[in-house]
């Protein structure tokens, strides 16, 4: 600096202390020092010039097209849920946030039909809930039986293997479900500590009958883990009555909530396995000893673990409130009726449903056998480009074999079924058929 400014009262006081004389003697060296600092600063900045300019796209307004999401998820969200997710955030450790989390817990207990204390929402998608369930229960060397009748069993097997579990794959062709007899035979053969099965297999369009599986697992000293990501809210499911030990879902399908908050629940038997492990879970982020605390499940004062997705939880709270207001039984009835309406319309177009057995067709996600002579992507692209409607092709073992249509939550209406049927009819008329 080259100049010193003093306020007048202070100046008068300092004059008598001969301070000004010292300032005058030091000002010249200070000026020279200031000049050298500015020169060094300019030199430093010159050597650290920005090499990456601001991305041009970020200097433009955000534009998101309006699309009707009638695929296997995510689904469109209601204005009410959008508004909840758009509220100003509060602290993730504020008492008001804990109250909202407590309400979410109660909403998940209702949706799952469980009284389990260890009920919460994972900060992540349904995949995160799947991994949280497996990483907390499975230890290296544990025998894990994975029921595979689509892509989600394969994902569970992959995760369990990464943990070090002794994975035994139990496979059915896509479009079929497991029988109690087959399950018991596999339990007797493999003697697993955990059996995984998907309730709503969205890659194939199958809903697995759950009655009787829980008691079978317990008869053979095995825990039952169920994936209900594509079925929760759209298909009857009773965690406690059906003796399900661990159940998880996602927020972005029937609940019509943005992805990123995944309901998960463990009963007392599962908790005994979790909290009597030989070693800590390999994931700190998904460790239930931490998550049970932040969600108020362990009776202890809540401690910081991670910053929860605050606005995502606002949205999940509102989505669960809508489910509670409408009522689970009404939602189940709505999805079944509109799925049957869609199925009839598909068959009237001359198309074939991929799942032959009507009793095991998943109401939330319908699979259509790709019509002979057509490329599935030509059909989905045509419908997206002309109608701005999303339907998708297969996933995992059904790639190239099916088209998938989802009617979930607020999207589950006869009007939407009519709209997608009209788009399908148009696509079949306009898309070129192959010569083979």
Give the Cα separation of 227 and 32 in Å (integer). 72
Question: What pLDDT score does 16 carry?
Answer: 47
The alpha carbon of 26 is separated from its chain's Cα centroid by a whole number of angstroms, namely 65
pLDDT bracket for residue 432 (50, 70, 90): confident
Would you say residue 214 has pLDDT above 80? yes
Question: What pLDDT score does 9 carry?
Answer: 46
3-state secondary structure 313-332: HHHHHHHHHHHHHHCHHHHH
Would you say residue 30 has pLDDT above 80? no
Which residues, in sequence order, are bridge partners of residue 120? 264
What Cα–Cα distance (Å) separates residue 224 from each residue in 75, 211, 266, 369, 432? Answer: 28, 12, 10, 32, 47
Give the Cα separation of 352 and 370 in Å (integer). 8
Backbone angles phi, psi at 65, to 5 degrees: -70, 155
Answer for the pair 230, 365: CB distance below 8 angstroms, yes or no: yes
Question: What pLDDT score does 433 carry?
Answer: 78
What Cα–Cα distance (Å) separates residue 306 from each residue in 93, 284, 295? Answer: 10, 10, 11
Answer for the pair 204, 150: CB distance below 8 angstroms, yes or no: yes
59-85 pLDDT, tens per residue?
999 999 999 999 999 999 999 999 999
Closest among 336, 120, 107 to 236, alpha carbons compared:
336
Closest among 286, 402, 385, 430 to 346, alpha carbons compared:
402
Question: What pLDDT score does 303 carry?
Answer: 96
Angle between helices 126-137 and 151-163 (to 10 degrees): 40
Q: Is 80 labelled a binding residue?
A: no
Answer for the pair 287, 256: CB distance below 8 angstroms, yes or no: no
92-128 pLDDT, tens per residue?
999 999 999 999 999 999 999 999 999 999 999 999 9
Give the Cα separation of 126 and 100 in Å (integer). 21
Would you say residue 152 has pLDDT above 90? yes
Question: What pLDDT score does 401 carry?
Answer: 97
Would you say residue 335 has pLDDT above 80? yes
Question: What pLDDT score does 257 carry?
Answer: 97
Give the Cα separation of 2 and 130 in Å (integer). 65
Q: Is the dihedral of CA 137, 141, 147, 151 positive or negative?
A: positive
Question: What pLDDT score does 2 carry?
Answer: 43
Long-range own/partner contacts, residues 276-281 (CB < 8 A, 24 or more apart): 277/139, 278/139, 279/139, 281/135, 281/136
H/E stretch holding 335: helix 328-348
Strand order in the sheet with 261-266: 118-123, 261-266, 246-248, 223-227, 194-198, 143-148, 166-171
Answer for the pair 295, 149: CB distance below 8 angstroms, yes or no: no
Question: What pLDDT score does 221 carry?
Answer: 97
Share of the chain above pLDDT 70, in %: 89
What is the average pLDDT score of the chain? 92
Q: Please, is 407 exposed, middle or buried when counting C-beta atoms within 10 Å of its C-beta (0-12, 13-18, 19+)? A: buried
- Report, in angstroms and rounded to the nearest whole number, the Rg of the chain calculated over CA atoms: 30
Question: What pLDDT score does 8 carry?
Answer: 43
Residues 6+ apart with CB under 8 A from 127: 155
Which residues, in sequence order, are bridge partners of residue 368? 353, 403
Question: What pLDDT score does 315 carry?
Answer: 98
Give the Cα separation of 258 and 290 in Å (integer). 24
Share of the chain above pLDDT 90, in %: 88
Secondary structure class of 353 (helix, strand, coil): strand
Give the Cα separation of 174 and 402 in Å (integer). 11
């Amino acid at each position: 600096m080259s100049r010193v400014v003093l306020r007048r009262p202070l100046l008068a006081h300092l004059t008598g202390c001969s301070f000004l004389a010292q300032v005058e003697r030091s000002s010249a060296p200070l000026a020279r020092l200031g000049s050298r600092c500015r020169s060094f600063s300019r030199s430093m900045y010159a050597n650290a010039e920005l090499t990456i300019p601001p991305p041009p796209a970020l200097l433009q307004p955000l534009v998101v097209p309006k699309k009707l999401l009638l695929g296997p998820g995510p689904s469109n969200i209601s204005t009410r849920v959008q508004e909840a997710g758009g509220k100003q955030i509060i602290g993730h450790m504020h008492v008001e946030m804990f109250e909202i989390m407590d309400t979410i817990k109660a909403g998940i207990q209702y949706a799952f039909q469980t009284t389990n204390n260890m009920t919460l929402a994972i900060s992540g998608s349904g995949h995160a809930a799947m991994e949280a369930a497996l990483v907390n229960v499975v230890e290296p060397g544990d025998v894990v039986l994975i029921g595979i009748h689509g892509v989600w069993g394969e994902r569970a097997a992959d995760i369990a293997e990464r943990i070090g579990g002794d994975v035994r794959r139990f496979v059915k062709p896509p479009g079929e479900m497991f029988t109690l007899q087959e399950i018991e035979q596999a339990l007797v053969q493999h003697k697993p500590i955990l059996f995984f099965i998907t309730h709503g297999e969205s890659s194939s369009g199958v809903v697995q009958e759950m009655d009787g599986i829980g008691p079978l697992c317990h008869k053979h000293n095995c825990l039952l883990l169920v994936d209900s990501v594509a079925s929760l809210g759209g298909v009857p499911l009773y965690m406690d009555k059906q003796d399900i030990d661990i159940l998880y879902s996602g927020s972005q399908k029937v609940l019509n909530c943005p992805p990123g908050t995944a309901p998960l629940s463990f009963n007392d038997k599962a908790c005994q396995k979790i909290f009597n492990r030989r070693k800590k879970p390999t994931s700190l982020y998904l460790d239930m000893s931490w998550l049970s605390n932040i969600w108020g499940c362990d009776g202890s004062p809540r401690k910081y673990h991670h910053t929860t997705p605050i606005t995502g939880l606002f949205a999940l709270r509102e989505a669960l409130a809508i489910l509670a207001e409408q009522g689970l039984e009404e939602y189940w009835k709505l999805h079944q009726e509109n799925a049957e309406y869609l199925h009839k319309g598909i068959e009237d177009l001359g198309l074939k449903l991929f799942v032959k057995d009507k009793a095991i067709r998943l109401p939330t996600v319908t699979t259509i056998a790709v019509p002979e002579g057509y490329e599935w992507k030509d059909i989905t692209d045509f419908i997206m480009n002309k109608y701005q409607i999303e339907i998708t092709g297969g996933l995992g073992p059904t790639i190239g074999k099916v088209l998938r249509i989802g009617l979930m939550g607020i999207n589950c209406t006869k009007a939407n079924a009519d709209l997608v049927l009209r788009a399908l009819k148009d696509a079949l008329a306009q898309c070129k058929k192959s010569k083979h």
